[in-house]
Structure 1
C-alpha cells in the first residue's frame, strides 16, 4: 500500500519534527523549504519541559541535541539606585525534578541541523529552494504551486513556514505582522568569568533596557538586549561593522556589571531585529490545509515558548490524526475536518494567551523612569520570593501537553 503523502511547507524548527512524527506513524511527509540550504541565521532558543516532553517521544533524538542545561534563574538590577541581585530562583532544577525534563539553551543553527539530519535519517524527503506560492484544493487532494513554476500534490498540507507564512496568506489573505514596539540586539559570546561554575538564565534590568543571557554549550553564551525603538525588520542578518562597534563601545549595556559588558564586547557578530506577532486567527485551517507553529501563532520571545508551543501543536496534531485516522490511510474531508477542528479547539486558547503574555512580559521589563524601574524591581522581588508558589504557578505551563491522555 502506498503511504499517504503529506506536504509540509517550511523546514525551520517545526517542519522537521512534524515530518519525523508523521513518518513514524506511516505517512509519507515531504518538506518544501523556500531557502536553498539549512540556515546559519538565528541565535538560540530555550527548550523547556513541555517542549522536551514532545521531543522525548522521538526515539534517540534528545540524546543528539547539543546544548547546556539551565539550573537557575537570576535577576540583577543595573540601575544606579538599586544595583544588585534582586531575585534568584532554582526553578529550572525544580522543574527537572518535577517533570523529568530540563530547561536547555541550544544554539539555533546547531539544533536545526540536528533536526534536519535526524529527519533525513528517517527517510524524510526535504526539497530546498522551493517557495510555496499557491494552493489549489480538490475533494481528495491539494496541488501546491511553487515560485519556480513547479507543482506537487498531496493528500493534505501543513504550513510550518513561520512568521511570514505563505501558506497562511494563501488561506486567509495578506495581513501585516504587528510590530510590538520592541527590538532586540543580540549575539553569541564566550562565557564570561562572572558565571564561573553557575549555569543560570540571567536577566539584567536597566532603564528602558532588558538583557537576557544563558549558556548554549560549554564555552558560549547567547544574549539578547530588548529596547523600545523604531521598527527594525526581522531579517536576522548581521549588523554592519560600524553599528556593531558602536553597540559594543557605546551601547546601553557596554558598561553593565554582572557579565553584561563582557558579553557585548566579546561578541564576534551582532544581529538586530524587530519583534513581531500577528492578530489571532479564529481558525487555523481551510479544507485540506492547516497551520502550525509560528505560521498559526507567531509570538515575541519573552516567555521563551515559541518553539515549545510548536512542539505542543505537533503533539496534538499527530495524536488527533492517529485518533481519527488510525491506519494512516488517505483521509476523507470529514476526517480532516474532525482532526483540524479538534486541534484548533485545544490549541488556539492556549497559544493566544501565551502570545499576549509574552508581549506583556516584554513591555514590563523595559520601563523608563526611576519610579517605574523601582516598581518593576519590587514586583520581581516579590514574585520570586516564594519558590513553592513560583513552581505552582508554572505547573499549568509545564505539565502540558498531556501525554497520558492518548499515546501517539
Structure 2
C-alpha cells in the first residue's frame, strides 16, 4: 500500500486524512464500525480547533452551529455566578454543535469500514480481526482510548476516573446563548446549545442516576426532562512515554487520552492532525510532531484531570477558595488555550515543496 494507513475514523483520524490530502499525501482510513453513526449529542469546538478546520476549508460546517457568547460557571444550590469567560474575544468563534454534523463534514477521506485493527508492527504491517492484513508506508493510530495501535508503543490499560457522564439532547424551552456549568459536591452539570432549537445536557457524577435534590430549579428543570440519558464511565490512560515507534505514530486519545472537564479532547486531536500534516515534509516528521505537541498536550491533559477534583469539591473552605480563584481570573486567562495556532509553530510548506518532500514522510 503506497499510502498512509490511518486507523480510526473519529474526528482525529478524519482530520488527519483531510489535512494530509491538502498536502498531497495519500491516505486510507480503516474503521472497525460498519458505518459512522449519526451522533446527535453535542460537542464543543473551541477557537483553537475551529481555526484549524477553517484552514482546511471546512468553515461551512459551522453554518448551523451555535456560537455561545460566554462560558459561565455557577453554584449548584443558588445558581450564583462564580465566573464568566468571554468567548467572543478570539478571532475564530467558539462553536457548539452536533458531533454527527462535524463527522459528516470530515468524510472527504477514503474510509474502509468493518476493518478492526488488532495489531501493527513498527514496519507498518497491520493485522485485522478478520485475519487479513495490510502494509503501509506509515501508520497513524487514531483509534481512540482503547487503541490497538498504542500497544506497539506502550503497554498500559484504561483507568477509571470514578465518574460517570450521562448525556441527553433536549428541546430548548427558552433561548440559551452560552455554555453553563453548574458545580456541586461530587458532580457537575453542563448545558449548551447545539442548534437553534436544542441544547446538550451533560451530568457528571459518581453514578449516572443520582437525584438532584437541593439543586437550583434551573438545573432540576433540565434534569427532570431527561427520560433516558446515555451514560458511560469516564476513563483515561497514564501519559505515554512516547507517541511513535518506527513507521507508526499516535494522535488524539490514542496518544494522550484526556478527561472531558475542559472540553478539549476533540480539539487536541484536531491540533494533532494539523501539526502532523505540517510535519510531513521532514525526514524526522514523527519525532518533530511529538516534540511540538507534547508540552502543550501535557498542560491541557493535566488541567483536564485536575477538573475531576476541582469541579466536585464539597461545600467548605476548599470550595470557597476555588470560587474566589475562579472569580479573580483575568480576562485573558484562557488565551493560551483558545488562542493557540498550529501555523505559528510550524509554517506550512507550499504545494510544490510538499510534493517533493512527501516521500520522506513515507520512509519514517
- Aligned position for 1:102: 93
**C-alpha displacement of 1:274:** 1.1
**C-alpha displacement of 1:397:** 1.5
1:220 aligns with 2:202: no
For 1:121-200, what aligned pairs fall within 5 Å after superposition?
124-138=109-123, 142-173=124-155, 175-193=156-174, 196=175, 198-200=176-178
Mapped partners of 2:218, 2:305: distance in 1: 26
- Aligned position for 1:235: none
TM-score in terms of structure 2 length? 0.88
SS of equivalent residue, structure 2 residue 279: helix
Tell me if the contact between 2:154 and 2:240 (Cα under 8 Å) persists in the aligned partners. Answer: no
**C-alpha displacement of 1:355:** 1.3
- Aligned position for 2:360: none
Residues 131-188 of structure 1 deviation map (CA, whole Å, 9 limit, x = unaligned): 01122444xxx22111112222211010000000011123333x22121122212211
Judged with a 3 Å threshold, the aligned counterparts in structure 2 of structure 1 residues 115 and 263 are, in CA distance, closer, same or farther, namely farther
Mapped partners of 1:351, 1:37: distance in 2: 30
Mapped partners of 2:98, 2:25: distance in 1: 30
Tell me if the contact between 1:159 and 1:168 (Cα under 8 Å) persists in the aligned partners. Answer: yes
Judged with a 3 Å threshold, the aligned counterparts in structure 2 of structure 1 residues 169 and 314 are, in CA distance, closer, same or farther, namely same
Query: What value does the CA root-mean-square deviation take over the aligned residues?
Result: 2.2
Tell me if the contact between 2:83 and 2:326 (Cα under 8 Å) persists in the aligned partners. Answer: no
Mapped partners of 2:193, 2:245: distance in 1: 41
- Aligned position for 2:359: none
Tell me if the contact between 2:12 and 2:270 (Cα under 8 Å) persists in the aligned partners. Answer: yes
**C-alpha displacement of 1:201:** 0.7
For 1:17-28, what aligned pairs fall within 5 Å after superposition?
17-28=15-26
Residues 92-151 of structure 1 deviation map (CA, whole Å, 9 limit, x = unaligned): 122x3xxx11111121123222222xx1xxxx321001001122444xxx2211111222
The correspondence for 2:264, drawn from 298, 305, 324, is 305
Mapped partners of 1:155, 1:403: distance in 2: 26
For 1:380-395, what aligned pairs fall within 5 Å after superposition?
380-385=323-328, 389-391=330-332, 393-395=333-335
**C-alpha displacement of 1:41:** 5.0
**Which structure has greater helix proportion?**
1
Residues 279-315 of structure 1 deviation map (CA, whole Å, 9 limit, x = unaligned): 1112111100100111000100001111111111112
The correspondence for 2:280, drawn from 297, 321, 339, is 321
The number of aligned residues is: 347
- Aligned position for 1:345: 291
Mapped partners of 1:282, 1:349: distance in 2: 12
**C-alpha displacement of 1:38:** 0.5
TM-score in terms of structure 1 length? 0.79
1:376 aligns with 2:319: yes
Mapped partners of 2:305, 2:256: distance in 1: 13
SS of equivalent residue, structure 2 residue 74: strand
Mapped partners of 2:10, 2:140: distance in 1: 13
Mapped partners of 1:255, 1:376: distance in 2: 17
**C-alpha displacement of 1:262:** 2.9
Tell me if the contact between 1:209 and 1:252 (Cα under 8 Å) persists in the aligned partners. Answer: no
Judged with a 3 Å threshold, the aligned counterparts in structure 2 of structure 1 residues 192 and 134 are, in CA distance, closer, same or farther, namely same
Give runs of ≥4 in structure 1 deviating > 4 Å. Answer: none
